[in-house]
Structure 1
Amino acid sequence: MADLPPIRETIARHGLSASKALGQNFLLDEQLLGRIAAIPGKLDGKAVLEIGPGPGGLTRALLRAGARVTAIEMDRRCLPALAELSEAFPGQLTAIQGDAMKLDHGEIMRGEPFAVLSNLPYNVGTALFVKWLSGENWPPQWTSLTLMFQREVAERIAAKPGTNAYGRLAVLANWRAEASMAMKVHRSAFTPPPKVMSAIVHVTPGEAPEGVSARTLERLTEAAFGQRRKMLRQSLKGVPGALDALARVGIDETRRAETVSVGEYIALARMLR
């Protein structure tokens, strides 16, 4: 195990500071980072994709767990700190400078199954999450997602029907996968502390229901939750065939989007295909 200086010292030595424009908030507590790296289970020898490693706090924990890490970092200032980690853990770390939203993750990981662990930059976290969960090909190349979000977003992902937090993200995360809140993280754990609390969501892929298209389900939930205070007969009237599908599935058209279970959305999407 490499003997490394504290992360705070690395940040100071390289003159790094968190960029608000890039949604950066650095985690410095190495004990906490170790607990995060342990969430998906044993990583020794496994491929891991990390988005936005910054100065490499979580990266250290992943490398110490024996993972083979590919880290995508947009901020060029952080590359020298990551290069030091690469030297300390020979053959375990590949750092790529670029925009994770524009890169083909499957191609980067060379077709190999991989786990995703990331303290996601707040400004792209939800978009990346949707990207990972929206592919038509299933099961996906990733074996699990362990992701840091603002707590409000994490609650929306893990929400149950009938709650205020339940919406598109919950349906997307749970119709062919299982999402749960793995850990809450206090704002004081970050440098600088964000204005909001955070939480880690853990997602594992499951079996995809037959006859359901991810694209159709997305279109359906976008319409339903886009006007969540209205009855389904109003919010879904712009989706061709949706009102007829409600009747065929046996869903009362006077209900609202947040009362419809994931299973019922699956049934509606199957009718619309």
Structure 2
Amino acid sequence: MTILPPLREVIAAHGLSATKALGQNFLLDEQLLSRIAAIVGDLTDRAVLEIGPGPGGLTRAALRAGARVTAIEMDRRCVPALAQLAEAFPGKLTVVEGDATTIDHDALLGEPYAILANLPYNVGTPLFTGWLGGETWPPRWTSLTLMFQQEVAQRIVAQPDTDAYGRLAVLAQWRSTPRLALKVHRSAFTPPPKVMSAIVHVIPTEQPAGVKAKVLERLTAAAFGQRRKMLRQSLKGMPGALAALEQLGIEPQRRAETLSVAEFVNIARVLTG
């Protein structure tokens, strides 16, 4: 195994510090980082996309597990540390400077890939919904293994009739299977964030027939945009939605959080026509 300096030494040598503006919190516990990388499964010679590697803690765990990593980092202060890591694993790490929200990940990787990331808090949800969206399914990514604030992670795996259940749960569950794989205490980070974190692991599944992703996205945006209101009120601005409820025998007096993922899919199927 390649011998690398402790992450604290890497951070000190390059004068790095987590920046609040970039939503950074560094993980330095290498045993924990190895456990996170292992959630993906066997990484031997697998293509992995990492977002926001920072000083490279999770990156080195994936590389040690045999992965070929492409890491997107917009904080150029971290690039020298990542360059040293690339030297330690010749041909295994590609570092791309840039904003992950504006880069075409499929084009960048050019092959099926797993996504593994301790996501910066300020871009985690937009990236996640982007990976879940689009009409092309199954996606080029084979799995998502992502660190979120625990509250966000719970929203992703939530079930109907719970406070956490909402649009994010429906979008995550209608054609993929998410699970909360690991809870991470705030003390594991440098600096410690104010909230607890958790790892969510997502595997794409077969897409239900006759449903367009854009229709479901619009439907859930309308339904949960006014989640405390009855469906007859929250969906009245969406053409055909109330008629779809009647056709399916769904009571318009119900609220969005009481509908199952399957019921949202059925409404979207009627609206897709």
The bucket for the TM-score relative to the shorter chain is over 0.9
Per the alignment, residue 177 of structure 1 pairs with: 176
Instruction: Output the CA distance in 2 between the equivalents of 1:226 and 1:53.
Output: 33
TM-superposed CA distance for 1:65, in Å, is 0.2
Per the alignment, residue 26 of structure 1 pairs with: 26
Report the AA paired with residue 163 of structure 2: N
Per the alignment, residue 154 of structure 1 pairs with: 153
Instruction: Output the CA distance in 2 between the equivalents of 1:146 and 1:220.
Output: 27
Instruction: Output the CA distance in 1 between the equivalents of 2:40 and 2:117.
Output: 12
Is 1:9–2:9 an aligned residue pair?
A: yes
Q: Any idea what the Cα deviations from partners look like across 1:63-116, whole Å, max 9, x if unmatched?
A: 000000000000000000000100000110000000000000001001x00000
Per the alignment, residue 163 of structure 2 pairs with: 164
* Runs of 4+ residues deviating >4 angstroms: none
TM-superposed CA distance for 1:250, in Å, is 1.1
TM-superposed CA distance for 1:40, in Å, is 1.4
Q: Find the residue that maps to 1:101 and give its secondary structure.
A: helix
Q: Any idea what the Cα deviations from partners look like across 1:150-204, whole Å, max 9, x if unmatched?
A: 0000000000001000000000000000011000000000000000100010000
Instruction: Output the CA distance in 2 between the equivalents of 1:130 and 1:81.
Output: 30
Instruction: Output the CA distance in 2 between the equivalents of 1:14 and 1:216.
Output: 48
Taking only aligned residues, the RMSD between alpha carbons, in angstroms, comes to 0.4
Instruction: Output the CA distance in 2 between the equivalents of 1:256 and 1:180.
Output: 25
TM-superposed CA distance for 1:221, in Å, is 0.3
Report the AA paired with residue 105 of structure 2: H
Instruction: Output the CA distance in 1 between the equivalents of 2:238 and 2:252.
Output: 14
Instruction: Output the CA distance in 2 between the equivalents of 1:41 and 1:57.
Output: 18
Per the alignment, residue 103 of structure 1 pairs with: 103
Q: Find the residue that maps to 1:117 and give its secondary structure.
A: strand
Per the alignment, residue 250 of structure 1 pairs with: 249
Is 1:145–2:128 an aligned residue pair?
A: no
Instruction: Output the CA distance in 2 between the equivalents of 1:131 and 1:120.
Output: 14
Per the alignment, residue 83 of structure 2 pairs with: 83
**TM-score using structure 2 length:** 0.99
Instruction: Output the CA distance in 1 between the equivalents of 2:14 and 2:222.
Output: 47
Q: Any idea what the Cα deviations from partners look like across 1:232-256, whole Å, max 9, x if unmatched?
A: 0000001100000001111110000
Instruction: Output the CA distance in 1 between the equivalents of 2:192 and 2:10.
Output: 19
Per the alignment, residue 58 of structure 1 pairs with: 58
Instruction: Output the CA distance in 2 between the equivalents of 1:75 and 1:230.
Output: 42
Instruction: Output the CA distance in 2 between the equivalents of 1:86 and 1:69.
Output: 10
Report the AA paired with residue 123 of structure 2: V
Return 5+ residue gaps in structure 1 as ranges: none
Is 1:39–2:39 an aligned residue pair?
A: yes
Instruction: Output the CA distance in 1 between the equivalents of 2:123 and 2:203.
Output: 21
Is 1:188–2:187 an aligned residue pair?
A: yes
Instruction: Output the CA distance in 2 between the equivalents of 1:250 and 1:190.
Output: 49
Q: Any idea what the Cα deviations from partners look like across 1:194-222, whole Å, max 9, x if unmatched?
A: 00100010000000001100000000000
| Matched pairs, number | 272
Is 1:266–2:253 an aligned residue pair?
A: no
Q: Find the residue that maps to 2:265 and give its secondary structure.
A: helix
Q: Find the residue that maps to 1:21 and give its secondary structure.
A: helix
Report the AA paired with residue 95 of structure 1: V
**TM-score using structure 1 length:** 0.99
Identical-pair percentage: 73
Q: Find the residue that maps to 1:193 and give its secondary structure.
A: coil
